[in-house]
A and B are shown apart, each in its own frame.
Chain A
Amino acid sequence: MPIRVHLDRVLLERRMSLTELADRVGVTIANLSILKTGKARAVRFSTLDALCRELQCQPGDILVWEDGPPDPDDAAD
């Protein structure tokens, strides 16, 4: 999927750890790791809302569309 997640970059800019973000947002570290590594298939608006609120950013700061071939997983579907 040519949607890239730049959560690690935003976290670095905010000097916030993944554990701290997980605590604040109320999402498990495992799920945030899935999101950070780009393995997530979908993001709920409620999660995105919580992330943007805690990181004081826009959805576009976290999610970026890049031109490129679809991932094999998505192509198989």
Chain B
Amino acid sequence: MRTLGPRSVSSFLKVVLDITFILLVIGLLFFGGLALINAFGLITGAKLPDWIWPVGQHWPMFAGTPRAVALLSWISLNHIGALVIVGRLRRIFRTLTSDTPFQAENARRLRIIGLVMAALQVSEWVIWAVVGQGAPDRVEYLRPDVNPVAIFGIIVMFVLAEVFDEGARMRKDLDLTI
């Protein structure tokens, strides 16, 4: 299979990233909007229709509580994190077709992706501390676990960033070799 051009792996991945980006924007607008409406309902005490309380439908004990707002905000935050990751990946892909991917800028992008992945992992524990503590037993399954795949993914990102940094240095050397 070809690396670049039509029907190549990268063009397929590019389409996947573009679609994912759009879906994440839609998801962010949806959950962010719900978080805002729930927060509004909580502050004003206004009676909102049932569909506005999606968290409440799954976990009725959360309905109309600050926990619902916290959970929806966390879901929105996850969407923002995923958008940052996919956005950086799209920019890395652009350098693949326009120039060379071995740029210091791409190393920085990979480090950002690693940091965001780590932040999202930590946020699971934070949201558990906010939502899960003192909540009824039914939300026990929300308790975050140590995810080895995610941890390895974060490590891989930082290793790749170092590889790209070295690649960028080698490319600079090559450009300045007469």
Contact = CB atoms under 8 A, between A and B. Distances in A.
Interface in A25-77: 27, 31-32, 34-35, 39-44, 47, 77
A42 B169 contact: no
B178 A77 contact: no
A31 B169 contact: no
B137 interface: no
A35 B169 contact: no
Contacts, number: 24
A40 B173 CA distance: 8
B176 interface: yes
A39 B169 contact: no
B178 A27 contact: yes
Contacts of A41: 172-173, 176-177
A27 B178 CA distance: 8
Contacts of B172: 41
B176 A39 contact: yes
Contacts of B173: 41-42
Contacts of B169: 77
- 6 smallest CB-CB distances across A and B, nearest first, come from A41-B176, A42-B177, A41-B173, A35-B178, A31-B178, A40-B178
Interface of A: 27, 31-32, 34-35, 39-44, 47, 77
19 contacts: A27-B178, A34-B176, A34-B178, A35-B178, A39-B176, A40-B176, A40-B177, A40-B178, A41-B172, A41-B173, A41-B177, A42-B176, A42-B177, A42-B178, A43-B177, A43-B178, A44-B177, A44-B178, A77-B169
